[in-house]
Structure 1
């Protein structure tokens, strides 16, 4: 993914080893989206809070994190991929999804 562009925005991969490094990465790189990997349960609340304060959209491939404050998740239901969108969190960071997208997703309010 590195050096690829989506709608004119370049994707830059920045490994961050937890909540302690996140704030400096935000400051140094101007992060506007963060992928949250599984295994960060003990740091998740701090990560979510920091991202919310900085209006950063969070995403994960681990659906339980969407229930705990990550804005967008991807799950597999009946063998098919499905979006999980936490609308409260996504709206807080300024990401509003269309009704068409929300119809396809499992919505958490």
Structure 2
């Protein structure tokens, strides 16, 4: 079936009609929706003052494998879903939160 989602190549938080945000669920989205517990991570973008000071990010988000790699650490972390620094909040909501909210209200 189809649920509210966001096109994966969306780079803006701009408003869109319900028709534009209606997409078929991918296998990962179906797995996430069917799970009793899902842990979703969005790596935040560097803040302007961090960029100005030349601070480098210590995390690398792999959206395909759903892993986060922390530099200088011996551990990598696996999540139900991982969003990188370029992912808008709207996409995170539409793909990871809205389906769960819909299940609760049904």
What TM bracket, shorter-length normalisation?
A: under 0.3
Which of structures 1 and 2 has the larger relative contact order (alpha carbons within 8 angstroms, sep 6+)? 2
Q: Which has the larger radius of gyration?
A: 2
Q: TM-score, normalised by structure 2?
A: 0.23
TM-score by length of 1: 0.23
Greater share of helix: 1
